[in-house]
Amino acid sequence: MSSSATTAQEASRRRTFAVIAHPDAGKSTLTEALALHAHVISEAGAVHGKAGRKATVSDWMEMEKDRGISIASSALQFEYAPEGHEGEPYMINLVDTPGHADFSEDTYRVLTAVDAAVMLIDAAKGLEPQTLKLFKVCKARGLPIITVVNKWDRPGRTPLELVDEIVDEIGLQPTPLYWPVGEAGDFRGLARLDVEGEVEEYIHFLRTAGGSTIAPEEHFDPEAAAMKEGPAWESAAEEAELLVADGAVHDQELFLQCVTSPLIFASAMLNFGVHQILDALCQLAPSPTGRSSDPKAVEAATSAIDADREVTDDFSGVVFKVQAGMDKNHRDSLAFMRVVSGEFDRGMQVTHAQSGRSFSTKYALTVFGRTRSTVETAFPGDIVGLVNAGSLAPGDTIFAGRKVQFPPMPQFAPEHFRTLRAKSLGKYKQFRKALDQLASEGVVQILRNDARGDAAPVMAAVGPMQFEVMQARMLNEYNVETTADPIPYSVARRTTAETAPDLAKQRGVEIFSRTDGELVALFSDKWRLQFIEKEHPNFELYPMVAD
């Protein structure tokens, strides 16, 4: 078999997706439950009771364990074969993302590296603000979405009410694959619908101690289900049939176009409905496809550059995250790369598109939460951690063979600003080292100017919790205690070297240089910005989100 044929075959069995949701919808618990059903772990990390609660394997940062929320994205890879599946198992690349709005930029980066998304909705709360924002990002990127209503073991809303809300709020038509038997808080099992929308069977779940192991299932045909569950089954069947009669039947093309969304009800905590989610992803989610180059890079190229990269072409990959401090035993950084095309072999010589420099990929890992293992070969869709690839930043392209350069990754517009200082002058060297590393990871944007000096740079962030992460990681990873003081600015704009001198003379404005060389103007408030724009229409001011 040829190399391109092998690559095509391997790509076809990859499923790379992200889990997105509002905070506390159960993303990390679902991530563990999926790994449990793939037999990668023997017991889920989330157990009942605060005193006995363990951290999930995908949460590695101390702040995540203390607060019970995901702050940084985490990549997990494992094989999974649905029941009755013939041939090689699917290779699952699952990325658990932060749910908190303060870390939406990290989530956006992840969504540039996946082929589908699982949108997790709390059965009691329904659609929440962050869920709506993330859905819009998925829609804009053309990412197909599988909708999972989680926590059906707790009191909540009616299933038809949740479906109506999804249709009304985001214009996405849920198409039920598995409909709940029993109202929210009385989760008995799932009615499985076939491709025509007919109720085919009843899957009854049996609880396990603390929900820490796979829940056994019992299967019944519709007649036996009616005898076993009585009115609960009749109600579930009627509701499912009502939706089907209204046209809510799965259509693969409409799903891939983000018009419809397969719908599954589950309880990640009890492990009810979990392997049904994996089965749906394997059967319905798209396999990896090629990617187009950055038009600006193609236009500016002085030598040949690929306009597109198909999965069977030479190796290429895009970096979507850089992370250090994942393990105190390893004082290194990892550049998380999505393989876009070709076959990646550890030790291969690759080129960094942005700098033109060549380097060897001797240290390459797959990462399961905090657990690392060396990767020898990877294919399109796989997530690989490159160790100590210091020149790489989110959005960078690496390649072998003919040059390719994928579009850059936009930065979100910061809305919060604070100065950062080391409490001890004796820690200045460590302070600078930590600052450079964490800025390259994109934890916050770092702004400097001559007036403030290198000892008091300004942090710019989407949300204030990013400042807490920055300070916590400086302390835990570099032993540098810091202070973060607010400054009187709330709006930022990019500007030019021509405009900056005159703009700096305006009241309520301060000019900074960002780490990537961009000039950034901070304004006291939006009214001050509007006044300056009106009085000086010749000033060049641009949104902070890159083109």
Say if CB 148 and CB 266 are below 8 A apart.
Answer: yes
* pLDDT > 90? residue 300: no
Cα(262)–Cα(252) distance, integer angstroms: 10
Cα(144)–Cα(261) distance, integer angstroms: 7
Enumerate the domain spans of the chain.
3-284, 291-399, 416-535
The mean-pLDDT minimum among 74-83, 210-219, 427-436 falls in 74-83
Query: Which class in CATH covers the domain with range 3-284?
Result: alpha beta
Cα(177)–Cα(193) distance, integer angstroms: 5
Mean pLDDT of 411-431: 89
Dihedral (CA of 386, 391, 392, 394) sign: positive
* Kind and range of the H or E run holding 141: helix 129-141
- pLDDT in the model for residue 390: 67
**CA distance to 134, 270, 307, 496, per residue, from 111 (Å):** 9, 28, 22, 31
- pLDDT tens-digit profile of 327-375? 555 556 788 899 999 999 999 999 999 999 999 998 888 766 567 788 8
Mean pLDDT of 471-477: 87
- pLDDT tens-digit profile of 115-173? 999 999 999 999 988 788 778 878 888 899 999 999 999 999 999 999 999 999 999 99
Residues contributing to the annotated binding site = 96-100
Residue 58 — pLDDT band, cuts 50, 70, 90? very low
- pLDDT in the model for residue 38: 84
Mean pLDDT of 303-323: 90
- pLDDT in the model for residue 500: 96
Say if CB 494 and CB 544 are below 8 A apart.
Answer: yes
* pLDDT > 70? residue 401: yes
Cα(382)–Cα(75) distance, integer angstroms: 10
- pLDDT in the model for residue 546: 44
Angle formed at CA 85 by CA 83 and CA 88, multiple of 5 degrees: 125
Residue that wins the pLDDT comparison between 11 and 362: 11
- pLDDT in the model for residue 109: 80
Residue 108 — pLDDT band, cuts 50, 70, 90? confident
Residue 45 — pLDDT band, cuts 50, 70, 90? low
Cα(480)–Cα(202) distance, integer angstroms: 57
542-546 contacts: CB < 8 A, separation 24 or more? 542/493, 542/494, 542/495, 543/413, 543/493, 543/494, 544/411, 544/412, 544/413, 544/414, 544/492, 544/493, 544/494, 544/520, 545/410, 545/411, 545/412, 545/413, 546/408, 546/410, 546/411
Percentage, residues of the chain above pLDDT 70: 88
* pLDDT > 90? residue 216: yes
84 Cβ partners below 8 Å, 6+ apart? none
Two tokens at 525?
Answer: 């408030």
- pLDDT in the model for residue 185: 96
* Kind and range of the H or E run holding 431: helix 428-441
Cα(28)–Cα(120) distance, integer angstroms: 11
The mean-pLDDT minimum among 55-59, 148-152, 212-216 falls in 55-59
- pLDDT in the model for residue 269: 93
**CA distance to 55, 71, 100, 342, per residue, from 67 (Å):** 10, 10, 12, 40
Say if CB 9 and CB 86 are below 8 A apart.
Answer: no
Residue 40 — pLDDT band, cuts 50, 70, 90? confident
Dihedral (CA of 122, 124, 127, 131) sign: negative
- pLDDT tens-digit profile of 241-288? 999 999 999 999 999 999 999 999 999 999 999 999 999 999 999 999
Domain 416-535: which CATH number of 3.10.310.30, 3.30.70.3280, 2.40.50.140, 3.40.50.720: 3.30.70.3280
The mean-pLDDT minimum among 54-58, 404-408, 513-517, 534-538 falls in 54-58
Percentage, residues of the chain above pLDDT 90: 58
- pLDDT in the model for residue 102: 54
3-state helix, strand, coil in the chain (%, to 5): 30, 30, 45
Amino acid identity of residue 1, one-letter, is M
Cα(343)–Cα(260) distance, integer angstroms: 33
Two tokens at 260?
Answer: 């419809």
**CA distance to 40, 59, 409, 547, per residue, from 75 (Å):** 14, 10, 19, 28
Residues contributing to the annotated binding site for GTP = 96-100
What's the number of CA atoms in the CB half-sphere (13 Å) around residue 228?
18
* DSSP line for 191-225: EEE-TTS-EEEEEEE---GGG-SPPPEEEE-HHHH
SS3 169: helix
* pLDDT > 70? residue 26: yes
What is the average pLDDT value for the chain, to the nearest integer?
Answer: 87
- pLDDT in the model for residue 2: 53
Residue 466 — pLDDT band, cuts 50, 70, 90? confident
Cα(464)–Cα(485) distance, integer angstroms: 12
Residue 52 — pLDDT band, cuts 50, 70, 90? very low
- pLDDT in the model for residue 59: 45
Domain 291-399: which CATH number of 1.10.600.10, 1.10.287.1080, 2.40.30.10, 3.30.930.10: 2.40.30.10
Cα(394)–Cα(107) distance, integer angstroms: 12
- pLDDT tens-digit profile of 227-252? 999 999 999 999 999 999 999 999 99
**3-state SS record for 458-483:** EEEECCCHHHHHHHHHHHHHHCCCEE
Among 478, 481, 480, CA closest to 331:
478
Fold identical between 3-284 and 416-535? no
